[in-house]
Structure 1
Amino acid sequence: MNLKKILKEIKYELLKGNDDLEIREIQYDSRNVKSGDLFVCIEGYSTDGHKYVSSAVSNGAAAVICSKDIENLTECTVIKTEDTRKVLALASANYYDHPSDKLKVIGITGTNGKTTSTFMMKSILEAQGYKVGLLGTIANYVGDKKIPAHRTTPESLELQKLFAEMVEEGVNYCIMEVSSHSLYLDRVYGVKFCQAIFTNLTRDHLDFHKTFENYYNAKLILFKNTLSSVVNIDDEYGERVYEDSEGKKTSYAIDKVADVKGSNLHMHSRGVEFDITYKNETQHINLNIPGKYNVMNALGSAAACLGEGMSLATVKEGLEAMLCVPGRCEIVTKNYDLGYEVIVDYAHTPDGLENILKTAREFTKGKLISVFGCGGDRDNTKRPIMGKIGTELSDKAVITSDNPRTEDPMSIIKEVVAGVEKDNYIVVENRREAIKKAMEMAKKDDVIVVAGKGHEDYQILKDKTIHFDEREVIAEIIKELNK
């Protein structure tokens, strides 16, 4: 594609060379550059693309877009702009012929509930007969095609490419998790959302955002770029989002008066039943995932679909058709007669851990046993809070390692233990051994919650990443214990 066409409606200064040339592909990683490519220098969380211009040029870059001065660059066209992240987003949209304009895009943001909500909404939309794409933490889906996901929200270049694949495959709706990082770093810049859902806001990612106010403001960006805002007003920050958002607004809640209202909740070990009311019509829902917070996820998903013109009957059909979400309150012992249950959940924040433990408590007839830890190289202020919550809400707790990354696992565990006020815990650093210890403790009617990793099938250690799928680990331990 011609460079001028790629840069259409983008303000730039041509410092050197010719902007009337053909470009093969756009790249922001110098290692991927080939002859004839356009290299866009973007600043990341830990590095800066401007440092790798010479590498990109050596690999054959025909043009470079920068926001900083670059010396001794004589081999290619050089273009300067104020904000290369926004330029990458706009140039990528131009390159792929603005695919998101040919889709209905629904974005979901919040600390917890994004992944489950995307799967719920996908099920509702499919019940209506639509072909659906999904972008999120577990994987990306183009219709039925599953593509590995490397981050919650892809970088703008990959995002536009995925949009283009969806258009080619005849997808009607794209539902996507929109992380605070992606909003702050302009990965979704220029994308117009037909619906934006706010789930909740609790402590997370302060290593990146530094303050809770920055975190809130990053989330709010989504609601400045949507036709319709769907907001959980049971959440205190949701009330604020509702006031701060623009355009059409739809509220949902259980405890407050709202446009979409959940009521008459009845919890059981394999799910939850509740009533949903919208415009004086009520449907009874039998959801196959337990927990009040999953009712909240269902209400938000329903509200967005209702806003797209679907009926409450279709919402019921779609929600009841969804059996589970990988790693989200997933009972992994359904096919075993152990006398106790083991639940795997992605909960890795104080609020997430509190939610899953309170949910499990509602259907635990015996003792509630938790296995949890905290990840390394992430916000360490939440560690003692997690320690307090995990032990307060469990009868027994096993504190262990969870993606320690470059940190010493025992140092992380000590910070978790610093918040503990009860003596109902043990420390087992090795995560597999910790899970096995919890299963050895379990008696009839007990429930074990293994929190933190959920759908992940790996452990990130200091010097390597190893395969670690907790469903497989638990199945192996069951065999070992039944020998």
Structure 2
Amino acid sequence: MNLKHLIDGIDIISYKGSLDKEILEITYDSRKCSKNCIYIARKGFQVDGHDYIPSAIKNGAICIICEKEIPILKEGITYIQVKDSKIAQAELAIRFYDHPSEKLKMIGITGTNGKTSISFLIGNILRQWGKKTGTIGTIGNYIGNSFYKANNTTPEAIDLQKFLSEMVKQKVDYGIMEVSSHSLALNRVRGVKYAIGIFTNLSQDHLDFHKTYEDYFQAKAKLFDMTYKANIINGDDPYGERLLRKLKDKEKVPTYSYGIKNNNCDFLAKDIQITHKGVSFILEGENLQEDFSIGIPGIFSVYNAMTAIIVALLEKVPISIIKEALEKTPAVPGRFEVINTHTPYSVIIDYAHTPDGLENVLKTIRSFAKNRIISVFGCGGNRDKTKRPIMGEIGGTYSDLCILTSDNPRNEDPLTIIQDILPGIQKTNCPYQVIENRKEAIKRALEMAQKDDVILIAGKGHETYQILKDKTISFDEKKIVKELLEQA
């Protein structure tokens, strides 16, 4: 593709060198540069891509896009200075991969909790309907049944557009995306065309990045400037109500609200029945009154199912197919996943790593637990520290025993993180133990468990690794539970 065509419309400050060049690849990683490649130098939080320009040129880059004014390092190289490299990267990627989101029906899901589960539910319904789906999210990326490893909930702009292009090549009908607040704030999804946008909720998370709830909310709200068919908003959530008012003022696309408590919502769940086996409810809306059920317990499952149902209804999926798909939905990996332990007690693994997420899961367990709840959890390092005592208080409030342990400590001392959690749990007078080694903490919970107890292992869910200060180690909690039980 010709460089002049690629950069058309990009906010350029200045350039040096020829624009008449054929470009074969674009990248933000100097190590991945190859012949006839554009290298995009970006300022990161820990490293500055401008420092790697010489390496990029050595590896074959013939064009450098950057924010700083760069001296000519080698003749024949084109240097293009832009105001914002991340925005330029997104716009270049869309052109280079030929606007793939416009050739798919994209569904974007944003919110603190529920994104992964909702994406799975929507995908199951659409596949039951005979459509081919592609999914991008926390657990990984899928095209049909093929799995592609992911490093972020929402990929970098170039990786995202490349993957969407692959969806187009493989004749995918629907692209289902978890859209993180980071990706919205950092312009990773800039220019993506979403048919439907979904807002689940907003609670404390990522304040290390966004600093305030207001910034966090405004980042999430950006998604709804990118939709063209419909918006679906949780009307029970205070920030959802605020978003509804904002979207109503714009009257850009039809917006539908859903809820359990707010009678002004377009769709309401009523006659909710929750057991340890799942939930059932009646969904009411305009010209609609239907009963649905799903084999995943918890009030959060009602919200997740409602969202997926509304998407399906907007896409004209027959109700009989929606019901069948929901009833056949398997457990989402690491989301309230009950492990088959063949023990007189139960073990549940869940990704809950926010105060709201942990509270929802523990409340659900409390609703059916016949004996004690033993919670094993910690908090991630290099992340929002203010949520740590809150997590401790929630764990202590809804558990009978807590074992505080390491999560993904990253560059922080695991025991320092635990010390931040302790004030919260100490307020509740709930018995607790501190076992920094996560495997040993899980082992201790299994050793202590009695008949009809429920052990919750929270925080990592689907993750099969643990991020330590100087390395990442294999850590699959499902396998670890099985191994510990076999050794007992």
**TM-score category (smaller protein):** over 0.9
Retained in 2: the 8 A contact 1:8–1:94? no
Unpaired runs of 5+ in structure 1?
none
After TM superposition, give the deviation of residue 74 of structure 1 in Å.
Answer: 3.8
After TM superposition, give the deviation of residue 54 of structure 1 in Å.
Answer: 1.8
Q: What is aligned with 2:259?
A: 253
Q: What is aligned with 2:144?
A: 143
How many residues matched?
479
Cα deviation per residue 1:310-335 (whole Å; 9 max; x = unaligned)? 233332222222111000000012xx
Q: SS of 1:108's equivalent?
A: strand
Q: What is aligned with 1:230?
A: 232
Retained in 2: the 8 A contact 1:197–1:304? no
After TM superposition, give the deviation of residue 131 of structure 1 in Å.
Answer: 0.5
CA distance in 2, matches of 1:175, 1:400: 34
After TM superposition, give the deviation of residue 31 of structure 1 in Å.
Answer: 1.4
Q: Which amino acid aligns with 1:438?
A: A
Q: What is aligned with 1:388?
A: 393
Alignment of 1:210-229 (within 5 A): 210-227=211-228, 228-229=230-231
Cα deviation per residue 1:320-372 (whole Å; 9 max; x = unaligned)? 22111000000012xx4311110000000111110110011111011111110
Q: What is aligned with 1:125?
A: 126
After TM superposition, give the deviation of residue 21 of structure 1 in Å.
Answer: 0.5
Q: What is aligned with 1:23?
A: 23
After TM superposition, give the deviation of residue 295 of structure 1 in Å.
Answer: 1.0
After TM superposition, give the deviation of residue 14 of structure 1 in Å.
Answer: 4.9
Q: Which amino acid aligns with 1:400?
A: T
Q: What is aligned with 1:457?
A: 464
Alignment of 1:258-337 (within 5 A): 258-333=265-340, 336-337=341-342
Q: What is aligned with 1:6?
A: 6
After TM superposition, give the deviation of residue 288 of structure 1 in Å.
Answer: 1.4
Q: Which amino acid aligns with 1:121?
A: I
TM-score (norm 1): 0.97
Retained in 2: the 8 A contact 1:283–1:313? no
CA distance in 2, matches of 1:344, 1:171: 32
CA distance in 2, matches of 1:261, 1:316: 17
Retained in 2: the 8 A contact 1:143–1:166? no
Q: What is aligned with 1:363?
A: 368
Which of residues 239, 242, 245 is equivalent to 1:243? Answer: 245
Identity among equivalent pairs (%): 49
Cα deviation per residue 1:78-122 (whole Å; 9 max; x = unaligned)? 112222211111111111111111000000000000000000000
CA distance in 1, matches of 2:286, 2:127: 23
Cα deviation per residue 1:6-42 (whole Å; 9 max; x = unaligned)? 2233243552110110112001111111222101112
Q: What is aligned with 1:446?
A: 453
After TM superposition, give the deviation of residue 304 of structure 1 in Å.
Answer: 2.0
CA distance in 1, matches of 2:11, 2:421: 49
Larger displacement relative to structure 2 (268-277 or 163-172): 268-277
After TM superposition, give the deviation of residue 160 of structure 1 in Å.
Answer: 0.6
TM-score (norm 2): 0.96
Larger displacement relative to structure 2 (316-325 or 115-124): 316-325
Alignment of 1:47-196 (within 5 A): 47-75=47-75, 76-196=77-197
Q: SS of 1:266's equivalent?
A: strand
Q: What is aligned with 1:469?
A: 476
CA distance in 2, matches of 1:13, 1:429: 52
After TM superposition, give the deviation of residue 281 of structure 1 in Å.
Answer: 2.2
Retained in 1: the 8 A contact 2:399–2:430? no
CA distance in 2, matches of 1:423, 1:299: 35
Larger displacement relative to structure 2 (59-68 or 370-379): 59-68
Q: Supply the RMSD in Å over aligned alpha carbons.
A: 1.3
Q: SS of 2:148's equivalent?
A: strand
